Structure 1
């Protein structure tokens, strides 16, 4: 007698929800793609902050709050990137200390 393996069938919802559970699934990115996109966005925020600072120094910006907001966005993105790097390095070092 042959034993057939269990077939896992995905469960799909047929009702609509106002909470958004029934939306089509988005394309899943790999970790490398996600990290590359995050680094590009951080770089873009840094460049925008530099551009805003240059325009302020040239006297072309009247509202200083735009420059401050751009600088804060760039700083927060950079701090997050550094924390991610630190966590990844810490995890790597912990794995290297493991005895096999």
Structure 2
């Protein structure tokens, strides 16, 4: 089993959602959106950050933007994309693990 010592703040927010999902699976009442809606919303945020970074880069390229704001937007977009890739990889690993289980 892997250790959870290197968990970023973004990942810890996701862990809270998982915890609420586990409460729901155990029969406790939980209000909120489903897994697919949560994942879809997160992917939309990643897309929005990528778009914002593109807009900032275009502004700087045309000479009208703030270089600092562009750098921040690019870094946010990069971090969100890396996190999305890690989540995707974990989902694929979990799916493969489930498929290996014997019934």
Bigger relative contact order, structure 1 or 2, given CA contacts below 8 A and separation 6+?
A: 1
Residue in 2 that maps onto 1:55: 59
Q: Note the 1:1-100 alignment, pairs <5 A.
A: 27-61=31-65, 63-100=66-103
Query: What do you get for the CA RMSD once the two structures are aligned?
Result: 1.4
Question: Any unmatched runs of 5+ in structure 1?
Answer: 1-25
1:96 Cα shift?
1.0
Which entry has the higher C-alpha Rg, 1 or 2?
1
Deviant stretches of 4+, over 3 Å:
none
Aligned residues: 74
1:60 Cα shift?
0.7
1:27 Cα shift?
4.7
Question: Any unmatched runs of 5+ in structure 2?
Answer: 1-29
1:57 Cα shift?
0.5
